[in-house]
């Protein structure tokens, strides 16, 4: 697997015994954490009435290709195979859109779907950014009103709460692309509405490259957006608003975007999360398909990259060839939240989940040990059967550390009497029961 041009040189000077840069192996201790985190993703989504869906990790490249100059398109892992040009998914949203479009006539909207999937982006690596990551997505399709946004933001905070993160530790910065769109509608967008998406993609870089460089790109006559200096200055000015009141000053009287934002904040009050969701006009997001409210979650100290991001994308279905259907959702990565949990000391001490160990002293007692292990497994216990010639001392030592509850011991004496000895590690007590139970 390689990215575009580099395919001819791939393999040179690379050690096949190392995982490709930016990818991760998950050893048992890593999997325990991953499963713990994903269980929170799943239970939070379920508690909001969302259903899980999935799609192939490989799609036709054209599903992901967009022309707005987004980073994500340049970062695709893609390859040709039997005359097909395929790509690993970099995000879940296009696949979800494809699935919705395929059943559009047959579904009752709104639908609430969630996914937990691995995504591939050939990123320049920094802290919190890898070349593969898992993402929890929650999306609502078919609801045009901000009640959907409010539910999604509430789900995000439910997730943060369930991980043990205090409310003060997270901020979700929120804006509406609609505000910007309104302010440019009479000007540049009146004859070139298509420049809005690339314009947002450029603005999204403001934190990284600064206002001057953004202005330069916006005004570049070759750059696809080609604003006048006045229009660009207006855009930069609008981005500086840090409250709804400030934003309202830039908006037209009776602005629908401001009305929508106010309605959303009323709902967020009811969920008790409005204080954690500051308005910030500089948040526009780097993906072209967003059309309305957009938001990004950060650690309150803003020391890490975005934990999650999302927004409304009411025109994606149409853009991909389906019938129009409004949609809104978010993606929540596993990497940055993992770092935050580490920084905050919030990862629990997760042990292997073996409850019982069955140990035979010699080969003659192995059949009896198998009988005991099978019986316990049928009863729903998680049972490790000792293999080969394990040393009892080591087995007991490991069991103590791993949090195993009981060790079942069968020596010749027990076998002859048809019993198994049970050592309860917590109570430090020994009992016996028949081998057959
Ligand atoms: P995104 O902002 O590109 O949005 O990604 C969402 C989250 O995924 C980010 O906030 C970050 O936590 C994580 N993430 C993204 N790229 C990486 C990376 N290279 N390494 C580690 N973590 C990463 C989307 O993907 C949208 N499709 C989300 C969405 C769903 N919007 C509507 N519905």
- Decide: 284 and 178 in contact? Cβ < 8 Å: no
Q: Which helix (H) or strand (E) holds 87?
A: strand 84-88
For the record, the structure tokens of 112 come out as 């609430």
Confidence of residue 14 (pLDDT cuts 50, 70, 90): confident
Alpha-carbon separation of residue 358 from 55, 229, 296, 351 (angstroms): 41, 77, 50, 18
Predicted local confidence at residue 6, as pLDDT: 45
Tell me how far apart the alpha carbons of residues 247 and 255 are, in angstroms, rounded to a whole number.
Answer: 11
Tell me how far apart the alpha carbons of residues 201 and 71 are, in angstroms, rounded to a whole number.
Answer: 9
User: Positive or negative, the Cα torsion across 242, 244, 250, 255?
Assistant: positive
| pLDDT exceeds cutoff 50 at 27 | yes
Q: How many CA atoms lie within 13 A of 205 on its CB side?
A: 16
Parallel, antiparallel, or unpaired for β 419-424 and 111-120?
Answer: unpaired
Tell me how far apart the alpha carbons of residues 219 and 223 are, in angstroms, rounded to a whole number.
Answer: 8
Confidence of residue 185 (pLDDT cuts 50, 70, 90): confident
Was domain 2-7+23-343 assigned CATH 3.30.930.10?
Answer: yes
pLDDT more than 70, % of the chain: 97
Parallel, antiparallel, or unpaired for β 383-385 and 356-360?
Answer: parallel
How far, in Å, from the CA of 139 to the mean position of ligand 1?
13
Question: Regarding predicted confidence, which is higher, 127 or 368?
Answer: 368
pLDDT in tens, 245-270: 999 988 888 999 999 999 999 999 99
- Decide: 231 and 188 in contact? Cβ < 8 Å: yes
| pLDDT exceeds cutoff 80 at 8 | no
Tell me how far apart the alpha carbons of residues 261 and 256 are, in angstroms, rounded to a whole number.
Answer: 9
Task: Spell out the domain ranges in the chain.
Answer: 2-7+23-343, 356-434
Look-up of token digits 């802290």: 127
How far, in Å, from the CA of 330 to the mean position of ligand 1?
8
What is the C-alpha R_g of the chain?
Answer: 28
Tell me how far apart the alpha carbons of residues 157 and 295 are, in angstroms, rounded to a whole number.
Answer: 13
Q: Whose CA is nearest to atom 25 of ligand 1?
A: 91
Q: Whose CA is nearest to atom 30 of ligand 1?
A: 330
How far, in Å, from the CA of 295 to the mean position of ligand 1?
12
Alpha-carbon separation of residue 236 from 46, 121, 206, 230, 396 (angstroms): 40, 29, 9, 10, 66
Query: What is the rounded average pLDDT of the residues 311-324?
Result: 97
Q: Which residue from 309, 310, 316, 335 has its CB within 8 A of the most atoms of ligand 1, so it is best to mutate?
A: 309
Other C-beta atoms within 10 Å of 315: how many? 16
Confidence of residue 11 (pLDDT cuts 50, 70, 90): low
Look-up of token digits 């099978």: 374
- Residues lining ligand 1, Cβ inside 6 A: 91, 93, 121, 123, 129-130, 133, 135, 137, 139, 287, 306-310, 329-331, 333, 335-336
Parallel, antiparallel, or unpaired for β 58-60 and 170-176?
Answer: unpaired
Q: Whose CA is nearest to atom 18 of ligand 1?
A: 129
The alpha helices in 276-391, defined as continuous H runs, are: 316-319, 335-343, 366-378
Confidence of residue 1 (pLDDT cuts 50, 70, 90): very low
pLDDT in tens, 39-91: 999 999 999 999 999 999 999 999 999 988 999 999 999 999 999 999 999 99
Predicted local confidence at residue 3, as pLDDT: 46
Tell me how far apart the alpha carbons of residues 135 and 330 are, in angstroms, rounded to a whole number.
Answer: 9
How far, in Å, from the CA of 287 to the mean position of ligand 1?
10
Q: Where are the beta strands (DSSP E) in 103-248?
A: 111-120, 132-141, 170-176
Predicted local confidence at residue 109, as pLDDT: 97
Atom of ligand 1 nearest to the CA of 285: 2
Pick the CATH number of 356-434 from 3.40.50.800, 3.20.20.70, 3.40.50.1820, 3.30.420.40: 3.40.50.800
State the average pLDDT for the chain. 94
How far, in Å, from the CA of 75 to the mean position of ligand 1?
13
How far, in Å, from the CA of 149 to the mean position of ligand 1?
17
Atom of ligand 1 nearest to the CA of 121: 19
How far, in Å, from the CA of 49 to the mean position of ligand 1?
22
Query: What is the rounded average pLDDT of the residues 230-256?
Result: 91
User: Positive or negative, the Cα torsion across 419, 424, 425, 430?
Assistant: negative
Q: Whose CA is nearest to atom 24 of ligand 1?
A: 331
| pLDDT exceeds cutoff 60 at 5 | no
| pLDDT exceeds cutoff 70 at 12 | no
| pLDDT exceeds cutoff 70 at 184 | yes
| pLDDT exceeds cutoff 80 at 166 | yes
How far, in Å, from the CA of 64 to the mean position of ligand 1?
14
pLDDT in tens, 129-161: 999 999 999 999 999 999 999 999 999 999 999
Atom of ligand 1 nearest to the CA of 90: 25
For the record, the structure tokens of 69 come out as 């100059």
Look-up of token digits 């893609």: 78
For the record, the structure tokens of 164 come out as 């043990």
| pLDDT exceeds cutoff 80 at 4 | no
pLDDT in tens, 281-302: 999 999 999 999 999 999 999 9
Predicted local confidence at residue 188, as pLDDT: 79
């Amino acid at each position: 697997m390689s990215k575009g041009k580099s395919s001819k040189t791939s393999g040179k000077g690379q050690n096949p015994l190392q995982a490709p840069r930016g990818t991760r192996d998950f050893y048992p201790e890593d999997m325990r954490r991953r499963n713990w985190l994903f269980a929170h993703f799943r239970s939070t989504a379920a508690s909001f009435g969302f259903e899980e869906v999935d799609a192939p990790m490989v799609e036709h490249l054209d599903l992901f290709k967009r022309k707005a100059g987004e980073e994500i398109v340049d970062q695709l892992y893609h390859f040709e195979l039997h005359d097909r040009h395929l790509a690993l998914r970099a995000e879940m949203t296009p696949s979800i859109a494809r699935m919705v479009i395929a059943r559009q006539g047959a579904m009752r909207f709104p639908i609430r779907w969630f996914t937990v999937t691995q995504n591939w982006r050939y990123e320049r690596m920094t802290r919190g950014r890898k070349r593969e990551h898992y993402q929890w997505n929650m999306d609502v399709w078919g609801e045009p009103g901000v009640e959907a946004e409010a539910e999604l933001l509430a789900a995000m905070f439910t997730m943060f709460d369930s991980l043990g993160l205090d409310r003060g530790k997270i901020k979700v910065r929120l804006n509406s692309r609609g505000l910007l769109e309104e302010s440019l509608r009479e000007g540049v967008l009146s004859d070139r509405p298509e420049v809005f998406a690339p314009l947002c993609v450029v603005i999204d870089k403001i934190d990284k490259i600064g206002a001057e460089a953004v202005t330069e790109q916006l005004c570049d006559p070759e750059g696809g957006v080609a604003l006048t200096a006045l229009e660009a200055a207006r855009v930069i000015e609008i981005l500086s608003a840090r409250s709804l009141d400030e934003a309202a000053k830039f908006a037209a009287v009776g602005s629908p975007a401001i009305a929508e934002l106010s309605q959303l904040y009323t709902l967020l009050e009811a969920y008790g999360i409005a204080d954690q969701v500051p308005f910030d006009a500089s948040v526009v997001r780097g993906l072209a398909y967003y059309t309305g409210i957009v938001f990004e979650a950060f650690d309150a100290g803003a020391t890490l990259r975005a934990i999650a991001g999302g927004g409304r994308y009411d025109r994606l279905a149409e853009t991909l060839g389906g019938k129009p259907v409004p949609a809104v959702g978010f993606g929540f990565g596993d990497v940055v939240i993992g770092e935050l949990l580490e920084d905050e000391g919030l990862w629990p001490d997760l042990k292997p989940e073996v409850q019982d160990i069955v140990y035979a002293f010699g080969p003659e007692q192995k059949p009896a040990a198998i009988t005991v292990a099978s019986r316990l497994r049928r009863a729903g216990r998680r049972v490790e059967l000792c293999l080969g010639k394990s040393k009892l001392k080591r087995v007991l030592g490991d069991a103590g550390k791993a949090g195993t509850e009981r060790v079942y011991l069968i020596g010749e004496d027990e076998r002859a009497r048809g019993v198994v000895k049970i050592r309860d590690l917590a109570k430090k007590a020994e009992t016996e029961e028949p081998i057959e139970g």
